[in-house]
Amino acid sequence: MHLVVDHPLILHKLTILRDKSTGPKEFRELIREIATLMTYEAMRHLALRKKIVQTPLEECEGYEINDKNIVVVPILRAGLGMLDGVLQLVPNASVGYAGMYRDPETKMPVEYYVKFPAFYDDTEVFILDPMLATGNSAVKAIDLVKGKGGKHITLLSVVSAPEGLKVVELKHPDVRILTCAIDRGLNDHAYILPGLGDAGDRLYRTK
Ligand code: URA
């Protein structure tokens, strides 16, 4: 199941993100802001507990989420660019890391660092990767999370290719995918067209 989060604020920011003249500082700010806006939508289903609160005038009934029950998993390295934007709304969430790079020949993900906190039956897991291209890294990250007991999983991806969406939905039909745009497709190097280039390189100015 996927949902396109096409709020005007997001589409405006995404357009600046795509612009090749946008430098790393602004790129990082925009990815972080878009991640915050996506989080607002991605966490709409979270369970609420009733909570009694004392206003200056009287006692009233309110609500609270249990953000200690949330695990955010950025796929390294580009997913790191979204992490602070998510944590801004759920500061008590735990963070796990799924470090993988794409083998330039096979285009398949190779894991080099994986560290997760505990997953319980009701833990809500949010996997972050700004680009859903072939879908292979996302599938691998979801496999790893499920292998450690993660059950309720949402993937947040800023820009997706139809090919990647199809792969993830086929392998993991239970995972919710939120994206801001579904682009035309992949080129021969598995980059998204029109896309925004290499998100990791643009975040960290490595090219
Ligand atoms: N990863 C990126 O950073 N960009 C793409 O277009 C595809 C994968």
Q: Rounded to the nearest 10 degrees, how much is the dihedral formed by the CA atoms of 153, 159, 163, 164?
A: -30
Which residues line the pocket of ligand 1, CB cutoff 6 A? Answer: 78, 131, 133, 191-192, 195, 198-200
33 pLDDT above the threshold of 80: yes
CATH number belonging to domain 2-204? 3.40.50.2020
Q: Return the closest-CA partner of residue 107 out of 186, 193, 18, 202.
A: 186
What's residue 106's pLDDT?
78
| Arithmetic mean of pLDDT, 16-36 | 98
Task: Return the SS3 of 158.
Answer: strand
Ligand 1, atom nearest to 195 Cα: 6
| Average pLDDT across the chain, whole number | 96
For the chain, which residues make up each domain, given as ranges? 2-204
Residue 149 neighbours by CB under 8 Å, 6+ apart? 118, 119, 120, 121, 123
Ligand 1, atom nearest to 193 Cα: 6
Active site residues: 102, 106, 198, 201
Q: What is the pLDDT of residues 88-142, one digit of tens each?
A: 999 999 999 999 987 878 778 999 999 999 999 999 999 999 999 999 999 999 9
What's residue 167's pLDDT?
98
Q: What is the pLDDT of residues 162-199, one digit of tens each?
A: 999 999 999 999 999 999 999 999 999 999 999 999 99
